[in-house]
Amino acid sequence: MAAPLSAWPWEILGVFKYMLYGPFVAKVWDSRYREANQSSWCLHILIICLLRGMMYLSWNAYSHMLFLTRNRLIFKQGVDFKQIDREWNWDNFILLQAIVAALVLQMLPVHETLPVWNPKGIIAIILLHTAVSEPLYYCIHKWFHRDYLFNHYHSLHHSSAVPQPITAGHGSLLENLVLSAVIGIPILGCCIIGCGSISLIYGYVLIFDFLRCLGHSNVEIIPHQLFERIPFLRYIFSTPTYHSLHHKELDTNYCLFMPLFDALGNTLNIKSWEMHKEISQDSGKNGRVPDFVFLAHVVDISAAMHVPFVLRSIASLPYTTRICMLPFWPIAFVTMLVMWAKSKTFLISFYNLRDRLHQTWAVPRFGFQYFLPFAAQGINKHIEEAILRADRLGVKVISLAALNKNEALNGGGMLFVDKHPNLKVRVVHGNTLTAAVILNEIPEDVTEVFLTGATSKLGRAIALYLCRKGVRVLMLTLSTERFRKIQKEAPVDYQKYLVQVTKYQAAQNCKTWIVGKWITPREQNFAPARTHFHQFVVPPILQFRRDCTYGDLAAMKLPEDVKGLGSCEYTMDRGVVHACHAGGVVHSLEGWNHDEVGAIDVDRIDLVWKAALKHGLKPVSKIGSIVTKSIS
């Protein structure tokens, strides 16, 4: 049984908890309709709640801007899905304090005569905060670290392994009721003694939230030189490092914002200033070198918002178009133009796997730009610079995503390896594992397949592999020359299994389609009922036929021991990455010293597949039935 006041009363409401703001909205609407002013404070409460939410989300966005903060992080591990889920309802405290404020104003109508501005309030609220709120919070916080209260209430707040701005609001009902008193006493005191004002309330609440976000940001932005020049300031306000030590060691650094009270209570961690100086000094240096880099690109303007530094909660779910994100579309569009004009490859996210640091970098280009002839040179320049940067840093493997390895663009990465033959970093397109995943999905009793995109890099490898297994491959292509070239690569005895077709009608009796080139609903109609569409085309084809089934894009689930992973890769489920990403991971884990660029080596498909399974990567296909004879 849960302890009293540990759970939130509106937990069962889910997202409908926001309906509890309804009475405030109704009161404001009624007031405007009646042209009365008695309910103006309901409007102020709503505005303050909105500003507070924006404050926490803005800080949270900043803390996830790894291209700005990576060298200033205090806790070096990533925020995983478990923490994100635990903190999902972090804004409960804002709703609670709105209700508390409304109840207080009903009982003590001190707001009726408040001016917009009263300069006397500044001194008064500073004194009240220092003399009342700070010592009160210190004592209560220390009290909450006793066994019973910690285990039943405060442990929820400390369950977050990596402090984040929204972690500040993540706690039980009881401790947030206490916090409501801590923040409310100075405001109420100023109003009672005649020093209150509307601007004072706005200012104090938002500054209070700003400092809480700063303390939980996990990013050290305060230079150590400030405390060296003005030593007493270190007792006046705490730094993110200072509060992070409390989350790490628990029994020190209890203060709200002023370490003075930890000094007076003999609970000040002696490592606070030394650790702050160390992190501050290291902010100008490059941090740990990643072992593996996945070089991605932006898909489209809507998908550009599916990143942790926009909304962490949205990024932790598979990408789909969400109505709530549409208002931000104009901002994303302007950002796209700015990135096109002037930007460079930047860090998006990271995770750890078996003491190896894996990062995702993004080329600042959107999907449509890869199909603009005049943009090819600039895109290749960005990719080349990213590879050379990885080489300088000491990265072991860099894997090219989707369009970054387009055959027409750079020959599947061959352009860069040929241009820079002395690269130490291994350049990988990952398509060998992509081919293995697709082949693994095909039932072993299949004797005939229809292949579109048949002369592409992946199409060629799939055709050559299947023909060696005695599977008849109908290769859709208008180029007899390209077909013949691929056919000659097959062993003589198996060349007969490769058949060129030029029309979709040729596959009217084939129930296994492998789609490597986008097909329209009309073209899908040529497939017989109960056909399954395997695919390696981006974007995926429309699931038009109800009497057929559709496979996902080739992907694999990362091993269970992955740490710090908290964002989904495009439309993939949690912990699942595109097969080309997984291919780079396998290349890194195996320590292979060759580049994987250009044409796929068909003889290595089984080898790469076995290595992926050996390292704990798992196929995620909905069908997943074959393990070809050579693989099994």
More confident residue, 31 or 180: 180
pLDDT, average across residues 210-220: 98
Identify the band that residue 54 occupies on the pLDDT scale cut at 50, 70 and 90.
very high
Q: Please give the helix or strand (H or E) that residue 200 lies within, else none.
A: helix 198-215
pLDDT for 230: 96
pLDDT in tens, 429-464: 999 999 999 999 999 999 999 999 999 999 999 999
pLDDT in tens, 134-160: 999 999 999 999 999 999 999 999 999
CA–CA distances in Å: residue 236 to residues 96, 230, 264, 367, 485: 29, 11, 13, 50, 75
Q: Annotate 550-588 with b (16+ C-beta within 10 A) or e (fewer).
A: bbbbbbbbbbeebebbbbbbbbbebbbbbbbbbbbbbbb
Q: What predicted TM-score, i.e. pTM, was given to this entire model? A: 0.93
pLDDT at residue 632 is higher than 60: no
**Distance separating alpha carbons of residues 90 and 94, to the nearest angstrom:** 9
Closest CA to 448 of 501, 404, 410: 501
CA–CA distances in Å: residue 179 to residues 96, 118, 532: 11, 25, 57
pLDDT for 630: 37
pLDDT, average across residues 331-340: 95
- The mean pLDDT of the chain is 94
pLDDT, average across residues 224-240: 96
The amino acid present at 76, given as its one-letter code, is K
pLDDT, average across residues 171-183: 97
CA–CA distances in Å: residue 168 to residues 4, 128, 156, 247: 21, 22, 11, 11
Residue with tokens 């496979």: 551
Identify the band that residue 631 occupies on the pLDDT scale cut at 50, 70 and 90.
very low
Identify the band that residue 538 occupies on the pLDDT scale cut at 50, 70 and 90.
confident
pLDDT in tens, 294-308: 999 999 999 999 999
pLDDT in tens, 366-408: 999 999 999 999 999 999 999 999 999 999 999 999 899 999 9
pLDDT for 462: 98
pLDDT for 629: 35
Look up residue 112 and give its two tokens.
Answer: 């009726």
Identify the band that residue 38 occupies on the pLDDT scale cut at 50, 70 and 90.
low
Count of alpha carbons within 13 Å of 225, Cβ hemisphere only?
2
pLDDT for 39: 62
pLDDT at residue 628 is higher than 50: no
Report percent pLDDT > 90 for the chain. 91
pLDDT for 33: 72
Strands 346-353 and 562-563: antiparallel
Length of the chain: 632
pLDDT, average across residues 482-496: 97
pLDDT at residue 347 is higher than 50: yes
